[in-house]
Amino acid sequence: MNTDLKAITMPKWGLSMKEGSILKWIKSNGENISKGEMILEIETEKVVNEMESPEDGKILKICANEGDTVPVGSLIAVCGKEDTDDKIINEFINEFNSNFTPDVSSDENEEDNNEKIKVSNLEINFIKTVNSKEQNILFIHGFGGDLNNWMFNQSELSDKFNTYAIDLPGHGMSEKNIHNSTLDELATLTASFCKENDINSINLVGHSFGAGVSIKTASLFPDLINSLTLISPIGLGKEIDSTYLNNFINAENRRDLKKEIEKLYFNSEIITREMLNEVLKFLRIDNVQTTLTKIQNEIIINGEQKNNLIEEINSIKIPVCVVWGKEDQIIPSSHHQVLNDEINIIIEKDCGHMAHIEKPSLVNDAISSTITS
């Protein structure tokens, strides 16, 4: 196979994704592309999103056209460093296709991937990919999120690591009836979760409130945690958009909710009605609003952040990486200034509060290098 040519394939966004449709090619044949640049728009059962280029180079041939629906892993384009003879490109395509077999596991029902486990007396929902890799990752989402927030990260990193993603209490498909949920309690829950799964060493990836949980866990259970990758963490300053949390909890319809969800992203065009509907479905479950209000009270007091984790994060002895969207409207990225020199800080421009969704390859690279550093 010609090694100068690279295959661009249908990505796997979320563990249940089997196929995707090409909505629009942003780049066309012959155009130069660079790694991380958006090259096309893809629609899956769950989401419409732009795909980042996995390579630097030039698109030599587009193999799946707009409107096509193809299985995960299929060749959708060939890219290379320089113009290449059509014959060689076609040989490359034929060779790729003859070696490619789509995943046709009979696992039609995506819920089969979800598992439930009783931890700290609460039923916790999670998804795992365990293939006897050396390192384990646990993803912890933020306030109001769920494990699906990691759809661009978990399956991507499952090639190199064992991965776990949980729904925090009160979220996703985990128990909704909770008394309170302080960072200390959630850190204990995180440690118990690892113990229940026979994990002795784990790398935590936390977003926002989940990043706060991660810091607390590393501080209380230092022997368990191997590294931390934190995205827009709480606890490093007083400022936070407190109206966001309140309006999110109390949003009654798509229109109200959209105004809030827009604050999460630099590019709010990413937000679809489907996304908003999923959030509304969650908010409309009995007790969810009460539970979220309890959690909100653990994050905010008198309009400011309640938790101060600066000392804890700066005294952690393991590798720590902090990724922050420069245009984060929920928690300002300037909070990174309190971090010590040991910590790897990445401030990404054109990115909001959801770097793991807006800049997945950046975040995935950051996670990988933090774990292996």
Positions in the binding site for another protein (CB under 8 A): 67, 109, 111, 114, 173, 176, 252-254, 272-274, 277, 281, 284-287
Please, which residue, 287 or 373, has the CB nearer to another protein?
Answer: 287
Shortest Cβ 234–another protein spacing (Å): 27
Rounded Cα gap, residues 205 and 212, in angstroms? 10
Rounded Cα gap, residues 121 and 119, in angstroms? 5
Which token pair is 287?
Answer: 């007790």
Sign of torsion over alpha carbons 139, 143, 148, 150: negative
Please, which residue, 1 or 285, has the CB nearer to another protein?
Answer: 285
Shortest Cβ 347–another protein spacing (Å): 34
For residue 12, CA distances in Å to 102, 110, 130, 262, 361 come to 12, 14, 17, 25, 13
Alpha-carbon torsion angle 165, 318, 296, 241, nearest 10: -110
Please, which residue, 221 or 282, has the CB nearer to another protein?
Answer: 282
Residue among 209, 201, 208 at smallest CA distance from 318? 201
Please, which residue, 67 or 132, has the CB nearer to another protein?
Answer: 67
Shortest Cβ 110–another protein spacing (Å): 9
Please, which residue, 83 or 274, has the CB nearer to another protein?
Answer: 274
Shortest Cβ 146–another protein spacing (Å): 11
Shortest Cβ 176–another protein spacing (Å): 6
Please, which residue, 40 or 323, has the CB nearer to another protein?
Answer: 40
Shortest Cβ 38–another protein spacing (Å): 20
Which token pair is 313?
Answer: 């994060």
The DSSP line for 43-95 is E-SS-EEEEEPSSSEEEEEE-S-TT-EEETT-EEEEEESS---HHHHHHHHHH
